[in-house]
Amino acid sequence: MIPTITAFADSPDQGAGQARDMRVRWALEEVGQPYDVRLVSFAEMKQPEHLALHPFGQIPTYEAGDVGLFESGSIVLHIAQQHPGLLPEDKAARARAITWMFAALSTIEPPILDREAAEYLEGDMPWYAEHLAVVEERIRSRLEALASRLGDSEWLDGAFSAGDLVLVGVLRRLKGSELLAAHPNLLAYVARAEARPAFRRAFSAQLAVFTDAHASA
């Protein structure tokens, strides 16, 4: 059964691979599962057909047979549970890898999203700089702890896992910022993940959506 995922028909990130279908594509590539993509516009995401699949009218979604999912973390976990390659066989190590997925999404990503929201929505506010400083301090604190835990290891906990995949997906949102650059081991970790053939295939596929849309425009 070939799953179908949804992605932006015209991603606002212009193919930088920051939209969350990238994590799902990457997971599918890591396990060698072919997939179809249904491209949706912002308007289509808010239509009843898409809302039946995604209550918040967003991408990505995942459909395969009677399984219909939303939330990139849940989709990556499902893929990792269906195929070998992204979760260790050992039960304790498997639980730790899943814990890293949750840590990435519920402990590390929130302040990063707050920073983006501040930049997009609050730039004109008189308290913007003060609020941004607070948010960035929260990110710094998380990254310091993460950098300390990773140390010189190649991956978070033994072999590359869904925990690394989701965490790198989150850290990539800080690409180009001094926050990430302050930690050479985290920079190297992200670069190592991005050099994986599965990442490269997923990145090229999502970039092609953008370039194709704009070549024919």
Which positions lie near ligand GTB, rule CB under 6 A?
12-13, 18-20, 42, 45, 57-60, 71-73
Q: CB 196 → ligand GTB: shortest distance, Å?
A: 21
Dihedral over alpha carbons 188, 189, 191, 197 (to 10 degrees): 140
Comparison of 58 and 206: residue with beta carbon closer to ligand GTB: 58
CB atoms < 10 A from the CB of 3, how many?
A: 21
> At its nearest, how many Å lie between ligand GTB and the CB of residue 182?
22
Task: State which residue, 60 or 111, has the beta carbon closest to ligand GTB.
Answer: 60
Smallest distance, Å, CB 59 to ligand GTB?
4
Q: Positive or negative CA dihedral for 210, 3, 201, 168?
A: positive
The smaller minimum CB distance to ligand GTB, of residues 88 and 174, is found at 174
Q: Cβ distance 72 to 146 under 8 Å?
A: no
Helices (H) and strands (E) in the chain, counts: 11, 4
By beta-carbon proximity to ligand GTB, the closer residue of 13 and 212 is 13
